[in-house]
Structure 1
Amino acid sequence: MESKSEVAIGLKRSPGEALSSALSKLNEPIVPPKNTTRVVIKPSIYDPNLPGNTDVNMVRAVIRMFGSLGPVSIVESDTPLRNTGDAFLQCGYTDLENEQVELVNLSDVDMTSVMFSGHYFEDRKMPRILHEDAFFINVATLKAEPKICTIGAGIKNLFGLLPELDKSIYHTSIDSVLMDLLTAYRPNLTVIDLTDVVIGNRDDGQSKHVGGVVVGIDPVAVDAFCSNLLGIDPMKVEHLRAAHTLGMGEAIPDRITVRGTDHQIEELNQLFQK
């Protein structure tokens, strides 16, 4: 099947410049849903004491680009490692709060019953804010997660939409859970923050400055490209292969158009090989 999926890359001095550069290269228009009432941004904030969290300046750049669409809600949920309020504070997100921007703990908001596609969930309670005609931007980071789902990028970041404290109970079925979440909460835009990337095991606390970003409308294509950066065949990543097979996006690298100069693409690949 011929695919038109595309991703765009940006490599610049600041997250804002990188994001602006990458978005300008996309051919496919970014179209907000009709009657959009708010912008929902989901960063990746796992543990403020470790690398691999979405840089607050990348989220600031996203707000600058899309904040005119409506009030902005930056959402995250509690984990056994930390509560959301502390995570926002330690990672500098409280500096973003104003009359237009709110920080939302998905573990402490009104819930609504949601019917899922049945890969794992049939129906369950989910945060109501995710169902309020939102323009949903997934702003994730990239890291290897060999013990859970091979790689963590955009699709894995949807796992943090689940409001319960201990999400590890789903790890044994995480690929099915992610298919349900991707079906119900497919992002309008996926942004992978490569400002600083985790080197090796996240718990070792090592990271490398890259100063880049990957963006795209097809969340599967974005993650497949990022998987390739890590030297991992995306079709050997179970949740990417499943999403591809289900027609949710493109995971075969040769079918994904990469927007960026040859120099940028080569430089990004070299940064991940060093």
Structure 2
Amino acid sequence: MNATPNYQLSQWDAEDRVQRVDFNADNAKIDAAVKGVDRRVDSLSSSVSTINTSLSKKASTTSLNSAVSRISALESGKVDKSAHSSDVSALRSENCWVKLGEKYTTADGQTAKIAIPNISAYRELEIVFRGASATSSSCYIMLVCNDITSSRVFTSHNSFNNAISAMYLANLTNTQGGGTVRLFPLWPDSQTALHSTYIAKITGANKAWSGGQYEAVFEEITWDSIKSLSIFASPNAGGLAAGSGMSVYGLKK
């Protein structure tokens, strides 16, 4: 009787006796071989699982590294932002003049008004104004604080002997004019003082320019009570012409 070359299984010739023990021996060999194949398959499956786990960990590591890079970039930006904020703060402290607002009328007859928040933070206000009458009449440009038109204002070029209900900033024509105003507190009672300088064009044959100055004290308005400033034209002028208005700046303490 012959045998197979690999697992030595029985190979019968015609003259050989067929015995049960030969079949049992062959079955045992086949069973052992199949078991070995199963072990190798299990081992291969385990290897594949290990590879998948490694790949998964690698992907997680890649995501983590990416997140770390983003965090580093954000932290860098945070530092840059802090440095920028510090620079802005330094510039603001060096720049003592702050623009508090501006208002220019868009139609005839309007009033220009600007809110003044936290006036106690400023030593002085400077107002740059321009204006003209909405009609052909000349007019006074007038200033009020906190919308109080009845407050007594003492004004004069040399001595304070004239009390009026609102401060005259300028005597303007219906063509053009403007000027600047300084507001500041008087010591020690903090009454509000004013100095105004203006230039205006006079309508007429010579079309000359005219200018003037006003000094005033708002006796009933203390510095810390200022909440808003408004300019308007005297009633005979029909209000301010469109485009009239002012810009207000504060000198920080």
TM over 0.5: no
**Which structure has the bigger radius of gyration?**
2
TM-score for the superposition, normalised by structure 1? 0.22
TM-score for the superposition, normalised by structure 2? 0.24
Which has a greater percent of helix? 1
